[in-house]
A and B are shown apart, each in its own frame.
Chain A
Amino acid sequence: MITQWFFTHVDRRGGIAIALLVAIAFLVPLSNLLLPETSPLHIPTYLVSLIGKYLTYALLAVALDLVWGFCGILSLGHGAFFALGGYAMGMYLMRQIGPRGVYADPVLPDFMVFLNWKELPWFWHGFDNFWFAALMVVLVPGALAFGFGWLAFRSRVTGVYLSIITQALTYALLLAFFRNDMGFGGNNGLTDFKDILGFNIQAGTTRSMLFAATALFLALAVFVSSFIIRSKLGKVLVGVRDAESRMRFLGYRVDRYKLFVWTISAMMAGIAGALYVPQVGIINPSEFEPANSIEAVIWVAVGGRGTIIGPIIGAVLVNFGKTYFTAAFPEIWLFALGALFIIVTLFLPKGILGLYGSWKTKLADHAARKKDSAPPPVAAENVHLPEPQAAE
């Protein structure tokens, strides 16, 4: 019953991805905790955290793909929602430090003592409670996205205009969070976390659990995305992506569909940020950098936009490349990243998964011609990109 319900909402690829994610959610922590360090299958804790970080990026990429790949909204400011979720989690973690800070103030985080603040600002209240913080992780990015989207989509701000104002949004937040008066630690951000839900945040067990949580949330995100895309609403979204005016003329309230998916996506990005912060141990305003948001776009593009698991592949691959290059050849990294942007847009408009799809088609085509029978099968089913539109 359940499996049947599951597979009506998720395609085969999504199913495999979910199964894989659930599997590594269990296997990686097990390998880290149970296998002896000498075992070749043992995964050291730093690696668990590193992969965990990649998976939070993947979650951000899935969120971005939901709006860009399926609804045609290119957001250059998704990093803002990611960072806001991260800040909400960071505030919870700050409150957990309690009197163990450098200044040993039982209530105020160190940076507030340093700034000579006497009491907790109103927006910090409640963040000592994990569930309140968890709620804020989705509510704050969601509310911002809702307000912003409501204004933008209703007045039909589309295309590059929308991209640019999303960039302005994250830039404005970057400037705001850099200010000490904002009450979020200014330049240095929030760091020095001690524990989460009572567990030591540095401990291997906690790290493994955070990893498992990330993998499970990513699996959930894949499921939710598939669910949305395969629903009727998803078809409308794809319609909006490919011909917005036509959908409007057909009588659909395009702005509402966009607003819905935009807000959901921002909430996913917020969750990604919240999972990111305890694993890296710091959140600061540089997460709002417009460049970060644009980098997230390239993860999606590399993996294949308009596919649900492409962004996961893209995020992990590009970030693995980044980790490798910035350590081994720091000079080369920006060249490589820049070239990646150019090559992907020029030669791989459908990303790696698209390449795989067309490669499979060609192979099948080849086989079919050999056999001299049956028309070639259709390529990867979820990959439909818009026909190039004329510039006017």
Chain B
Amino acid sequence: MRLNRLLSVFILMLGVCCHIVQSHAQTVDDAKLRPLVQALAGDNFEDTTKAISDLVKTGDPRVSKILDALSAGDLYLAKADKTVFLGKRDGSDYAATDALTGAKLDPVPRSAAEKIKVNNRLRRDIAAAVGGLTLMSDNIAERRSAAEAILKTRDPESIPLLDQAIAVEKDASVKALMQQAKAAAVLSSDAADDVKIAAITEVSAGNSRDALGLLTPLENVQGPVGEAAKAAIDSINTKLAFWNAVQNVVYGLSLGSVLLLAAIGLAITFGVMGVINMAHGEMVMIGAYTTFVVQQIIRTSAPGLFDYSLLIALPAAFLVSGGIGVVIERGIIRFLYGRPLETLLATWGISLVLQQAIRSWFGASNVQVGNPSWMAGSFDLGLITLTWSRLWIIVFSLSVFAILQLVLKKTMLGLRMRAVTQNRRMASSMGIRTPWVDALTFGLGSGIAGIAGVALSQIDNVSPNLGQGYIIDSFMVVVFGGVGNLWGTLVGAMSLGIANKFLEPFAGAVLGKIVVLVLIILFIQKRPRGLFALKGRAIEA
């Protein structure tokens, strides 16, 4: 045992000797640095702190690596010859490398070495010091992260380093970040009041949530600094509240867009035919499954086209759902005209059959629908982060709405549909074949539901129950917005979406939804035909 240790010490010494021989060949810098590195293993933390700042002052690029190792606890002191080395645990030994040159040394037994202790204060110092070192780095990413590190530690000692760095910094965003970091450091230093107030202005111009963290401790300071901090906090809070509201509106709009997509087809069939299609949700679901099938085909036969899979799925889903819609209308619904309640029941039956058919075919569990690359990721808008899928769904549903308006206003089919909506018998007398209009309307409504399914497949789980989750909400939109006018559906969907999102923070998601439902039930009392009711003279619409 003793012999063993002696042997290892001997080997270690041999290694160190070899190393000294090697280092003669290196630059003089090495010889200057080495005692400083040695000093890191001082008797107490104060010595270590001094050693760190001495090391930093040399400005040698290797220093940051050594300090990082110290902070991570990878720096060891060999007991025998008091040399500092970089160690990695390897069984009962440390795989040792020279701290300065990185040259491989002989392994040191774990009992023959001692870890150089660091505490949290030291770690903070190290982080700041390393930050200061890399502030002058050639790599822009390193400079940025250095400035961020100082922004976190707010070490007043880094102010001179920052001043140097700011003077030479070329990149505007990094420069701004450095100025932020400097202001933060000034605030935690004992600088004069006017300097601090200038720093407060500087800080509050940056990231609001960070600034709030910086300024809150200053709020209770007596004198002008405290007042300035308080004023800055107030203005930041106003700004945050504003962006919070913006976020609620955007989230509400995206929820509203989903509702709009799900409800708009329903609104058409209900408006034109007075038919409540309980199977509408299943048309949405079939659209989503069509997307799934399209993606499967693309995956196996043309993987390169995957980014276009949604564009291919759109017409496919429209045709599949629309086709099923026409079949349902011709096969079942046309026999039930004039009996809206029976139609409701029959379409409910259809929805059960369709659900079970999909379940038998694709299985009861969710299927995986992928996101094309342009749907993934997010971007910043002011102080909030939005995902692309959220934005695309708003754009998409508004375009569907616009196209539908065009179809209704500018095409022959649209003209006939509007005529039938307003007065079925008169339209029929003028030679419009109302049964065909009905079939095409139902097909159009179902097709749009299919398109909605393509969009929903991107944000929701695709399972046989997909449609069930939307059906009640889309009814609410139609009932709230009123029938026979697509603008009503748009306004209804968006206001329900936004109301939901604004209620959520106060009441929670579930209670918020309940409140919205109750509000709609009450609203119906006031306007039994919805927001935008068709005006007419019939007693029974």
Contact = CB atoms under 8 A, between A and B. Distances in A.
A151 B518 CA distance: 12
Question: Among the interface residues B345, B359, B424, B526, which one has the most CB atoms of the partner chain A within 10 A?
Answer: B345
Given A171-B517, A175-B510, A155 B524 contact: yes
Given A341-B348, A349-B342, A391-B274, A161 B479 contact: yes
Interface string B433-454: 0000000000000000000000
A389 B539 contact: no
What's the interface size class on B, roughly? Answer: 35 or more
Contacts of A169: 517, 521
Contacts of B424: 390-392
Contacts of B521: 148, 151, 165, 168-169, 172
B344 A160 contact: yes
A297 B345 contact: yes
A390 B345 contact: no
Given A156-B528, A163-B341, A245 B539 contact: yes
Interface string B515-529: 001101110111011
Contacts of A304: none
B346 A341 contact: yes
Contact of B528 (A161, A167, A338, A388): A161
Interface in B452-468: 468
Contact of B353 (A156, A294, A335): A335
A301 interface: yes
Question: Among the interface residues B511, B517, B518, B522, which one has the most CB atoms of the partner chain A within 10 A?
Answer: B517
A151 B479 contact: no
Interface string B500-541: 000000000011011001101110111011000000001111
A163 B344 contact: yes
B472 interface: yes
A159 interface: yes
B258 to A, nearest CB: 18
A366 interface: no
Interface in B319-369: 332, 335-346, 348-357, 359-360
B186 interface: no
Interface residues of A, number: 50
A35 interface: no
A57 interface: no
Contacts of A297: 345
B66 interface: no
B415 to A, nearest CB: 18
B476 A341 contact: no
Question: Among the interface residues B337, B344, B359, B511, which one has the most CB atoms of the partner chain A within 10 A?
Answer: B344
Interface in A151-208: 151-152, 154-161, 163-165, 167-169, 171-172, 175-176, 178-179
B209 interface: no
Contact of B513 (A175, A245, A346, A391): A175
A159 B355 CA distance: 26
A250 to B, nearest CB: 14
A76 to B, nearest CB: 8
Given A175-B514, A392-B538, A345 B349 contact: yes
Contacts of A291: 468
B434 to A, nearest CB: 10
Nearest to A164: B475
A158 B541 CA distance: 10
B514 A159 contact: no
Given A335-B356, A341-B345, A346-B335, A391 B350 contact: no
Contact of B520 (A152, A168, A294, A349): A168
B341 A160 contact: yes
Contacts of B355: 334
A152 B524 CA distance: 8
B97 to A, nearest CB: 56
Interface string A11-43: 000000000000000000000000000000000
A341 B349 contact: yes
B338 A337 contact: no
B128 interface: no
Given A160-B340, A340-B349, A341-B348, A290 B472 contact: yes
A66 interface: no
16 contacts: A151-B521, A157-B528, A159-B341, A164-B475, A167-B475, A168-B475, A172-B518, A175-B513, A179-B510, A291-B468, A294-B348, A338-B354, A346-B335, A349-B339, A391-B273, A392-B423
